[in-house]
């Protein structure tokens, strides 16, 4: 009997990553549910803002989701994960894991929401800080050389900075050329 209990407990623990992979979320702005994770795939349904959803899977910029009786793919930028505490979720660690597509089983230190004092770099500690030149000099021991290459298979890509709503992202380019009227006058 005890053995059976242990076995079922073990099974429960083993299967828990599957349960954890289903995360509750909410549609942030009106979105479209697609049959496949592509923009030109068939549209299944319109998902109005604030629709409650269940996230099943991620592929690149897409989440596979369930919304009431429908299932399909939605751009992941239109989804907000539900706040922990408001739902039954145990901790936040599943959130990023789902985005990363990998369950790691890492035991995260659960940070208490009660008003325990934060150690290090709180407002107060920053206010009272004395400059530590020595610690700064020691950091030079760990710096990577300028030529540091990468052996991990990362492939660099050419992508331009995009302008935001308010101003261009790219550093200012060449300043306006001076007028040529001086030469013309001569």
- Report how far apart, in Å, the C-alpha atoms of 27 and of each of 55, 74, 102, 135 are: 11, 9, 23, 46
Q: How far is the CB of 69 from other proteins (least distance, A)?
A: 26
CB neighbours of 64 closer than 8 A, spacing ≥ 6?
37, 55, 56, 57, 58, 71, 72, 73
Name which of 3 and 175 has its Cβ closer to other proteins: 175
CA atoms of 20 and 84, how far apart (whole Å): 13
Minimum distance of other proteins from residue 62's CB (angstroms): 7
Q: Quick one: tokens of 127?
A: 């206010």
Residue 69 or 165: which CB sits closer to other proteins?
A: 165
Cα(88)–Cα(63) distance, integer angstroms: 21
Q: Site mask, other proteins, residues 32-71, x = CB under 8 A?
A: ------xx-------------------xxxx---------
CA separation for the pair 151, 116 (Å, rounded): 42
Interacting span for other proteins (CB under 8 A) from 11-19, 45-53, 66-74, 138-146:
138-146
Among 2, 3, 14, 169, binds other proteins (CB under 8 A): 169
17 belongs to the binding site for other proteins (CB under 8 A): no
Judged by CB under 8 A, the chain residues 73 through 112 that form the site for other proteins are 76-78, 80-85, 92-93, 95-97, 99-102, 104, 106, 108-109, 111
- Residue 145, interface with other proteins (CB under 8 A)? yes
Q: Is residue 178 part of the contact set for other proteins (CB under 8 A)?
A: yes
The phi, psi pair for 87, rounded to 5°, reads -120, -170
C-beta separation of 29 from 85 below 8 A = no
Minimum separation from the CB atom of position 93 to other proteins (A):
8
């Amino acid at each position: 009997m005890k053995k059976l209990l242990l076995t079922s407990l073990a099974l429960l623990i083993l299967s828990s990553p599957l349960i954890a992979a289903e995360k509750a979320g909410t549609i942030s702005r009106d979105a479209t549910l697609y049959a496949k994770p592509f923009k030109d795939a068939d549209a299944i349904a319109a998902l109005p803002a604030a629709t409650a959803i269940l996230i099943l899977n991620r592929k690149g910029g897409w989440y596979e989701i369930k919304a009431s009786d429908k299932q399909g793919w939605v751009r992941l930028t239109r989804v907000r994960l539900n706040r922990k505490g408001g739902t039954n979720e145990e901790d936040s660690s599943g959130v990023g894991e789902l985005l990363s597509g990998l369950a790691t089983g890492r035991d995260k230190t659960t940070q208490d929401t009660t008003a325990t004092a934060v150690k290090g770099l709180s407002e107060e500690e920053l206010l009272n800080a004395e400059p530590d030149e020595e610690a700064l000099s020691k950091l030079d021991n760990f710096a990577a050389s300028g030529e540091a290459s990468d052996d991990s298979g990362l492939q660099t890509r050419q992508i331009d900075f995009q302008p935001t709503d308010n101003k261009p992202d790219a550093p200012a380019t060449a300043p306006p050329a001076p007028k040529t009227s001086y030469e013309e006058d001569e």
